Each structure stands twice: as structure tokens, then as C-alpha cells.
């Protein structure tokens, strides 16, 4: 067999994730490859033969997944009633799950001021992202540059704890 065929096949097989099932290659395909190597069949016939192998799933090319568009801006709403310890006014979302490099904007939709204070696992304030008091309608931004789970709370209403998970 012509070495050209041996050189071409890996190129064809290297398109995406590929599985090949050699035992199911029909004889005529093997002959076509041989004849191509010997110059008896044309290149377009050879390529049609490879197309046949792909269409008939002798060569299986995994679907190439398009990358999911990354959310680069994300928002957490401090909802109306968030101040009320007896209410369900949780941060929305309570656990924001995003990728490294995402900028998070907290928006105060409540009727009273709140702040955003990053806290450690023990609930102690740490100096990572710390907003001034946010009046109704005010916003606070922070860009997460590292992976991890980040907790925060409002120092005026410390029962309100939220999470940002960066992967």
C-alpha cells in the first residue's frame, strides 16, 4: 500500500474526537484506498470513500461542542424586604455560580440601605470586597479573579448571607 494513504488517514482521523471501527471497514473501501495509492482512483473518489465511512459511522466523529458563551457580567439583587429577618427576601441568586474574571454587580432593590461585606467561613469580615452603604438603587461591583466559594453578608442585617461560587 502506498505510504501516502497511511499519511492521509491520520489527518482525516484527527478531526475532533474520533473513534474508528477497523473491523467494519468494507472490502471495497480497502480496495479504493489501495487503488488510490496506486493512482487508479482519483482523490475525490478517495475523499468520497472517507465521507462514506463517516456517514455510515465506521468513522465516528464526536460532535464538536461550541463553547458556552461566558457570562462576564452577573448581577445579585438585594430584593425588597431583604432587611426583614422574618421574610424570605434572600439575595437573588443566593448562590451565584460564575467563572473566573466575572464582574458581579449587587443592586439594592430594598427600601433601606444595605452593604456587601466579604466574610470568611467563620463569618468574620475580610477585606476582599466591601461596599459602602448602598441606598435604594445603588450598585456595587467586584470582579472575581480567583476560583473558590466566597461568602458575604450585610453588616446591618447579618442574618443575610450570600454566596458567590467561582469555577
Q: Judged by CB under 5 A, does residue 166 bind Cu ion?
A: no
DSSP assignment letter at 138:
-
Stretch that binds Cu ion, among 89-97, 111-119, 129-137, 143-151 (CB under 5 A): 111-119
How far is it, in rounded angstroms, from Cα 13 to Cα 11? 5
Cα gap 24→34, rounded to integer Å: 17
- Cβ nearer to Cu ion, comparing 50 with 89: 89
Binding span for Cu ion by CB under 5 A among 22-30, 31-39, 112-120, 123-131: 112-120
Closest distance to Cu ion from the beta carbon of 18 (Å): 55
Q: For Cu ion, what does the binding mask look like between residues 135 and 154, x meaning CB under 5 A?
A: -------------------x
What residue has cell string 430594598?
110
Given a contact cutoff of 8 angstroms between Cβ atoms, the answer to whether 57 and 124 are in contact is no
157 scored as a contact of Cu ion (CB under 5 A): yes
Q: Is 76 in the site for Cu ion (CB under 5 A)?
A: no
Q: Which residue is nearest to Cu ion (CB)?
A: 154
Q: Which stretch binds Cu ion (CB under 5 A): 23-31, 43-51, 90-98, 110-118?
A: 110-118
Instruction: Report the residue from 36, 49, 108, 114 that binds Cu ion according to the rule CB under 5 A.
Output: 114
157 or 164: CB nearest Cu ion: 157
| E strands, the chain, in order | 18-20, 59-61, 73-78, 95-98, 103-108, 117-119, 125-130, 139-143, 148-154, 157-166
Task: Give yes or no for residue 108 binding Cu ion (CB under 5 A).
Answer: no
Q: 3-state class of 41 per DSSP?
A: coil
Cβ–Cβ under 8 Å, residues 160 and 153? yes
Rounded alpha-carbon distances, angstroms, from residue 39 to 19, 43, 44, 116: 28, 9, 12, 73
Does 156 participate in binding Cu ion (rule CB under 5 A)? yes
Residues that bind Cu ion (CB under 5 A): 114, 154, 156-157
Amino acid at each position: 500500500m502506498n505510504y501516502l494513504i497511511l499519511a492521509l488517514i491520520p489527518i482525516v482521523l484527527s478531526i475532533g474526537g474520533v473513534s474508528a471501527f477497523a473491523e467494519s471497514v468494507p472490502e471495497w473501501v480497502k480496495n479504493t484506498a489501495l487503488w488510490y495509492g496506486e493512482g487508479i482512483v482519483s482523490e475525490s473518489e478517495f475523499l468520497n470513500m472517507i465521507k462514506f465511512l463517516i456517514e455510515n459511522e465506521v468513522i465516528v466523529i464526536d460532535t464538536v461542542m461550541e463553547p458556552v458563551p461566558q457570562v462576564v457580567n452577573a448581577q445579585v439583587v438585594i430584593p425588597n424586604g431583604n432587611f426583614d429577618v422574618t421574610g424570605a427576601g434572600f439575595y437573588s441568586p443566593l448562590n451565584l455560580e460564575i467563572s473566573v474574571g466575572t464582574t458581579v454587580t449587587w443592586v439594592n432593590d430594598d427600601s433601606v440601605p444595605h452593604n456587601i461585606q466579604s466574610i470568611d467561613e467563620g463569618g468574620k469580615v475580610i477585606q476582599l470586597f466591601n461596599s459602602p452603604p448602598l441606598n435604594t438603587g445603588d450598585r456595587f461591583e467586584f470582579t472575581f479573579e480567583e476560583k473558590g466559594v466566597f461568602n458575604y453578608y450585610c453588616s446591618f442585617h447579618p442574618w443575610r448571607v450570600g454566596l458567590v461560587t467561582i469555577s
